[in-house]
């Protein structure tokens, strides 16, 4: 696609037919939105520009993205400027928050971070342009997520070495592991893998952000923050004031509610409990009370309470309760604002397709596993035990065992099956991509280089070069780490291939749902590595312990690689809408990898050791699942039939709906965390039908179509700012909660019942909030959003 330019001021002129909206209409997609008439007119005239109403009304149409890509190629060199000092600010924020993200990831199983929000606020306070904010925050997100593999996978090593739940009949699977050596290998290898993950997505950027744009639910929040930065930078403080006020209030409300729902404010007799749980457990009469329907931040099916009014959380299966259908599954809604916000961005259709996987998993597969007494592998007994018998010796509810031991295996297969079939359906597009890759291997330069200006996009020819560098680096690093050359060679080969293929699947899922299945695809890599290492131990000179260690460390490195692919897609998407060069976004992410990998991994390793020793209590769902898988496959008990079943199921759903990977991700998640998505998506559709559409129709009749479309964009943006507040509020809560929880571990437990101890703890709680609130206030004031003149400033030449 080419652009035509007129003399004088640059105007981009494009025909509808060349944009793919000719006689045959826009190509259909599972997630592409229709272009508006006013937007199409603005594109034809070349008047549509970054961050205007027509842009917001046509996000994810494909027509807009292709138009902006051509506009950016021509004009971004005047907008997108690199500033090393500003990027260093972004790296510093991301590096600090990488440790916080490690704590949140181990606690919740989700790598939620508020680092981008802090970076955006800093950029606004210092009056940076949206371009500068976007580039600096690309370094922030790169630093924050460079150590994702250490959050999800690496802790499994400590669990296998110290947690009795994973011991074999003759002791722990891993003993006498050199933690420092493994950490060195993992951190250095993760840096190179992170670079590779960023490089690989250069290939897919045009396919999934320009030609057939993935919606990436939730990106609107960061885009709106860039819009606010533009207002502040250009003096439009009144508009920025209103926008930030909305986000700020909802962030504050979200944090306040979550502190009541999740944070253990009440400590009685050594028991830590959230205020909502305390109220629910106190309000009971005998076996009946509020706690039977509510516990641990979830509204759930009636489960009953014990003699003290404490919720049983789940309906437990037994011979006396086998008549109860709730004993075979679990229904609940988690009070998680971020999932509701993601659902609001998804709308009903996409949210339902994600939930469809959950519904199939929890209301069909889990009950089948329980009812038919499916066998579960017990590491201690080294035998397959019927699940009903297995559950009798476990404190976990039967349905949760069925979910974690069987259904999640099917879900992993479904994610991969749907992704593989989806990629196969796009073979014509990928033929062009592979042609570009072939050119890169031949050393041909990228066509994105602008003579006399520089690179618009990171040079494609660097990909094969860095593939070779990464391959050799992995070989050297793992050999120095004590593994055989042949075993290191096998891992390096697997990493190069899986980062490309499975990384593409993971990024597509993230683009559809807003959630990247790092752990889901990592399970496949672990399966591949353990399958090779355990079955070729003599050839590779590995004993069982070394085979498992190499598999887990290798999977850690893979997780960091594809996490960076998922991180860069969000930064690329925002850059497209504000006129930044992808080259600068890639450069920012690459610079953030090294400090982020070191600090994030260091904190994750520290917390992992405490987790395995029982010093702290964190859920760490992925780490526990990886430890379980390692024991199962080390003992030769992996159920490949379940993976194959999931693979076929994912292919079928992808064929029928075009969103098989989203379906698999839904099956991997639990009901309480996906139903809020569906509620959010359904709420938006009903709100648009009942409230928004009638109002816009009235404006259209009175003031015309143009005024109606602008008003629609403004109203939708208002809801996006509320959703942004929900997302940032939960991220901030996780950050503050992690700090306070760490402080709790430093306090003496001998005087927990004393008044002084409570006063001191509450003082720390209030002090931290005042510190955070004061910092944000100063940033807003520095930006002129608070306490400034309400009249827009006049720009000087």
pLDDT score of 686:
92
Query: Distance between CA atoms of 359 and 362, rounded to whole angstroms?
Result: 5
Query: Distance between CA atoms of 743 and 757, rounded to whole angstroms?
Result: 13
Among 658, 497, 508, 495, which Cα is nearest to 569's? 508
Phi and psi, residue 681, nearest 5°: -65, -45
**Cβ atoms of 414 and 328 closer than 8 Å:** no
**Cβ atoms of 109 and 734 closer than 8 Å:** no
The length of the chain in residues reads 797
pLDDT score of 20:
40
Query: Distance between CA atoms of 414 and 420, rounded to whole angstroms?
Result: 10
Averaged in consecutive runs of 10 residues, what is the pLDDT profile of the chain (797 residues)? Answer: 31 36 43 81 91 87 92 90 90 80 70 70 79 91 86 88 78 80 89 88 82 81 78 68 76 88 77 84 74 86 77 78 82 87 80 83 89 78 77 74 84 78 68 58 58 85 86 92 90 87 78 74 83 88 89 90 86 92 93 90 82 71 77 72 85 80 78 88 91 88 77 75 79 73 64 64 78 77 60 33
pLDDT score of 17:
34
- Per DSSP, 444 falls in state P
Per DSSP, the residues of 305-316 read: B-TTS-B--S--
Q: Say if pTM beats, i.e. exceeds, 0.75.
A: no
pLDDT score of 102:
78
Q: Both tokens of residue 541? A: 């000179």
Strands 294-295 and 298-300: antiparallel
pLDDT score of 250:
87
Per the listing, tokens 């404490």 go with 310
* Percent over 70 (pLDDT), the chain: 80
Among 329, 280, 325, which Cα is nearest to 306's? 280
Query: Distance between CA atoms of 611 and 116, rounded to whole angstroms?
Result: 28
pLDDT score of 509:
73
pLDDT digits (tens, 9 = 90+) for 175-209: 877 878 888 898 999 999 889 888 888 878 887 88
């Amino acid at each position: 696609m080419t652009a035509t330019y007129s003399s004088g001021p640059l105007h981009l002129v494009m025909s509808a037919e060349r944009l793919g909206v000719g006689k045959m209409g826009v190509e259909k997609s599972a997630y592409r939105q229709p272009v508006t008439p006013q937007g199409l007119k603005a594109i034809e005239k070349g008047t549509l520009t970054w961050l205007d109403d027509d842009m917001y009304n046509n996000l994810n149409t494909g027509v807009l993205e292709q138009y902006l890509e051509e506009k950016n190629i021509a004009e971004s060199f005047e907008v997108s400027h690199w500033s090393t000092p500003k990027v260093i600010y972004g790296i510093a924020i991301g590096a600090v928050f990488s440790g916080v993200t490690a704590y949140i990831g181990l606690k919740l199983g989700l790598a939620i971070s508020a680092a981008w929000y802090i970076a955006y606020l800093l950029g606004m306070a210092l009056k940076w342009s949206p371009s500068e904010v976007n580039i600096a925050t690309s370094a922030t997100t790169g630093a924050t997520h460079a150590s994702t593999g250490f959050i999800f996978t690496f802790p499994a090593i400590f669990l296998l070495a110290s947690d009795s739940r994973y011991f074999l009949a003759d002791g722990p699977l891993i003993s006498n592991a050199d933690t420092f050596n493994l950490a060195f290998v993992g951190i250095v290898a993760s840096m190179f893998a992170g670079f590779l993950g960023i490089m690989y997505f250069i290939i897919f950027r045009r396919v999934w952000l320009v030609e057939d744009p993935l919606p990436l639910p939730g990106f609107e929040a960061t885009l709106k923050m860039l819009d606010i930065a533009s207002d502040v930078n250009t003096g439009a403080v009144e508009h920025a004031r209103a926008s930030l006020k909305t986000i700020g209030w909802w962030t504050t409300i979200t944090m306040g509610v979550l502190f009541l729902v999740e944070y253990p404010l009440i400590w009685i007799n050594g028991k830590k409990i959230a205020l909502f749980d305390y109220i629910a457990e106190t309000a009971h009469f005998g076996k009946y009370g509020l706690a039977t329907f509510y516990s641990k931040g979830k509204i759930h099916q009636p489960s009953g309470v014990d003699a003290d009014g404490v919720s049983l959380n789940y309906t437990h299966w037994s011979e006396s309760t086998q008549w109860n259908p709730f004993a075979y599954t679990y229904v609940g809604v988690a009070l998680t604002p971020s999932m509701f916000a993601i659902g609001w961005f998804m709308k009903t259709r996409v949210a339902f397709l994600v939930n469809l996987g959950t519904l199939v998993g929890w209301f069909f597969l889990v009950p089948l596993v329980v009812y038919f007494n499916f066998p579960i592998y017990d590491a201690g007994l080294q035998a397959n035990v019927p699940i009903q018998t297995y559950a009798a010796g476990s404190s976990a509810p039967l349905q949760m065992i069925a979910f974690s031991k069987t259904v999640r295996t099917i879900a992993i297969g479904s994610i991969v099956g749907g992704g593989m079939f989806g990629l196969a359906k796009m073979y014509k597009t990928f033929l062009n991509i592979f042609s570009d890759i072939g050119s890169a291997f031949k050393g041909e330069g990228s066509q994105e280089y602008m003579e006399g200006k520089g690179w618009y996009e990171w040079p494609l020819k660097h990909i094969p070069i860095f593939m070779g560098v990464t391959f050799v680096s992995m070989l050297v690093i793992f050999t120095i780490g004590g593994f055989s050359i042949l075993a290191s060679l096998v891992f390096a080969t697997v990493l190069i291939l899986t980062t490309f293929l499975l990384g593409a699947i993971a990024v597509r899922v993230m683009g559809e749902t807003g959630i990247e299945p790092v752990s889901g695809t990592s399970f496949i890599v672990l399966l591949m590595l353990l399958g090779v290492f355990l079955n070729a131990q003599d050839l590779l000179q590995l004993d069982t312990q070394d085979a498992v260690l190499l598999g887990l460390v290798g999977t850690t490195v893979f997780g960091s690689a594809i996490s960076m692919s998922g991180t860069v897609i969000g930064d690329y998407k925002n850059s497209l809408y504000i006129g930044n060069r992808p080259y600068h976004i890639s450069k920012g992410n690459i610079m953030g990898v090294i400090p982020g990998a070191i600090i994030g991994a260091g904190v994750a390793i520290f917390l992992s050791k405490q987790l395995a020793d029982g010093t702290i209590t964190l859920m760490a769902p992925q780490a526990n699942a990886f430890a379980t898988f390692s024991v199962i496959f080390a003992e030769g008990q992996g159920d490949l039939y379940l993976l194959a079943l999931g693979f076929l199921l994912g292919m079928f759903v992808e064929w029928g709906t075009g969103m098989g990977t989203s379906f698999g991700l839904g099956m991997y998640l639990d009901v309480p965390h996906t139903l809020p998505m569906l509620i959010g998506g359904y709420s938006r559709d009903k709100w648009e039908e009942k409230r928004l559409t009638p109002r816009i129709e009235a404006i259209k009749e009175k003031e015309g179509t143009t005024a109606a479309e602008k008003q629609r964009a403004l109203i939708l943006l208002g809801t996006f700012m509320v959703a942004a507040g929900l997302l940032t509020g939960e991220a901030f809560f996780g950050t503050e909660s992690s700090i306070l929880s760490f402080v709790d571990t430093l306090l003496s437990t001998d005087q927990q019942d004393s008044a002084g101890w409570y006063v001191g703890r509450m003082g720390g709680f209030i002090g931290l909030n005042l510190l955070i609130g004061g910092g944000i206030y100063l940033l807003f004031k520095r930006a002129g959003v608070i306490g400034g003149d309400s009249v827009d400033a006049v720009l000087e030449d």
